[in-house]
Structure 1
Amino acid sequence: MRLTTLGACGAWPAAGQACSGFLVEHDGFRLLLDLGYATLPRLLALLPAEDVDAVFISHSHPDHCADLNPLLRARSLGTARARPLPVYSLPGALDAVLALDRPGMLDDSYELRAVTADFEVGPFRAETRLLPHWVPNAGIRLTAAGTTLAYTGDSGPTSDVVRLARDADVLIAEATYVDEVPLDSRAYLTSAVQAGRQAAEAGVGELLLTHLWPGTDPAAAVAAAAVTTDTAVTAAAIAVAAAGSRFPGEVRAV
């Protein structure tokens, strides 16, 4: 299994960055986990739009799904027409982003598929859990060839994250804040400190922090999480590429 970080900013993309988006590959199959603002140009630096095999969207906030629209446009209007793209999402989560174009324009470019507790997508066995956020949000656990990756989307601290990530090789966890989450968001967002605790309880092999608030020092988030876990901790931060250079991504074997 191979994981490429396309973006990891929460809320909006900082300069040279992108919001939530991950490319997961195994046995030639390419699955996208979320497609937030500015992720598509990074994806297209790696592969053509028609080479994506499926998309999973955790929830309806645009920093997780806005770039689904240009991906579908590229597949529908580009010179290499692609088959309908399977898109997995919760009911109604993509209504707004799919309504950006005139009615019917992109209908042949995708197939909406319901997110269930267990399903298969390509070579992956997928398991999902509803996790607390302002809108319905599905965390996902992917397993292929004995390797497991878990992704929270956005979530408040909950034992369901621990269940989702139990013994996973990698947990990609929302960590919008370094240590203290504002009072009005404590049920719906997580800090790096809390993500570290959940990773420790789940016994994951590696914790990858994502959805950091723009301007957050990734090293500070990593240090805060490391206080609460012995798990290896990194941040899914993207280095700003030099002008005119090809986006290198942040690629790792899982």
Structure 2
Amino acid sequence: MNLTIIGCSGSFPGPQSPASCYLVSADDGERIWRILLDLGNGALGTAQRYMELEDIDAIFLSHLHPDHCMDLCGLHVAVRWNPGGWAKGRIPVWGPAATADRMATAYGLELDPGMTEEFDFHHWSEREPVKLGPFTITPYPVRHPVEEAYAIRVEATEPTPDGPVTRVLAYSGDTDSCPELVEAATGADMFLCEAAFHEGRDDAVDGVHLTGKRAGAAATEAQVRRLLLTHLPVWNDSVRTVNEARETYQGDLAVAVAGVSYIV
């Protein structure tokens, strides 16, 4: 399983990165499958550096803040108005129950049909796995000030000469500390975890984001193999974030960088 950072800027696009979007790919022995975790503002253009839009097998949304979902509107245009046609049919999209209506409203469409002719919308059910190609994707409810917010656990089983191997990527979405975040990340090979706040600066804000220290604590409790910090806003100091995380996590630690790929 491979992870490519399409966008990792927190809350809005920055000069070096779009907002949240992560390309995850895995081989089932017959072909490579590609899914997107979130599609935040600014991400659609950058995603085309790494794949054809027709190669998107599905999109999985952690929640409906614009920095995690709004470029679905641009993808709607690409599917609907491609002069050469769109041969792949509707793109599956999993997300909160309000996803289809929210996207239609954002683009000024009537709710019926909205974007349902371009996307096959599915509602998350807490802890109910979705199977797609080599992937099993499971949502866990987390603590963020929207009606539905999820951390996403992605398991991919791929063939090797010694038999099938399963790797686990956990993605926090946006969240403050909560037991469900640890549950989603337990035993993960890589934990892609937001760290939008700083210790001391943002202590008065509860239930919105993690600091590096709180992300590290969740990673330690979940016993993950690698921690990759993401969703840092442009005003954050990445060195400070890493130092905070190092107080509570002693494993392999880095900050996500747009354009970099990782083997999970």
The alignment's TM-score, normalised by the length of structure 1, stands at 0.91
Superposed CA RMSD in Å reads: 1.6
2:263 alignment partner in structure 1: 253
Q: Relative to structure 1, is the Cα distance of residues 138 and 105 closer, same or farther in structure 2, using a 3 angstrom cutoff?
A: closer
For residue 76 of structure 1, report the CA deviation from its aligned partner: 2.1
Matched ranges for 1:39-118 at <5 A: 39-78=43-82, 79-81=84-86, 82-99=88-105, 100-103=107-110, 104=113, 106-116=115-125, 117=127, 118=129
For residue 62 of structure 1, report the CA deviation from its aligned partner: 0.3
1:139 aligns with 2:151: yes
For residue 123 of structure 1, report the CA deviation from its aligned partner: 1.5
CA distance in 1 between partners of 2:100 and 2:142 (Å)? 18
1:123 alignment partner in structure 2: 134
Please tell me the residue identity of whatever aligns with 1:92.
A
Count of matched residue pairs: 244
Identical pairs, percent = 30
Q: Which runs of 5+ in 1 are unaligned?
A: 239-248
Q: Which runs of 5+ in 2 are unaligned?
A: 158-165
The alignment's TM-score, normalised by the length of structure 2, stands at 0.87
- Greater alpha carbon shift after TM alignment, 214-223 vs 129-138: 214-223
CA distance in 2 between partners of 1:4 and 1:152 (Å)? 16
Q: Relative to structure 1, is the Cα distance of residues 84 and 186 closer, same or farther in structure 2, using a 3 angstrom cutoff?
A: same
Question: 1:24 touches 1:30 (CA, 8 Å); kept in 2?
Answer: yes
Q: Relative to structure 1, is the Cα distance of residues 181 and 164 closer, same or farther in structure 2, using a 3 angstrom cutoff?
A: farther
CA distance in 1 between partners of 2:55 and 2:80 (Å)? 13
CA distance in 2 between partners of 1:207 and 1:70 (Å)? 31
Q: Relative to structure 1, is the Cα distance of residues 94 and 154 closer, same or farther in structure 2, using a 3 angstrom cutoff?
A: farther
Q: Relative to structure 1, is the Cα distance of residues 138 and 149 closer, same or farther in structure 2, using a 3 angstrom cutoff?
A: same
CA distance in 2 between partners of 1:181 and 1:21 (Å)? 26
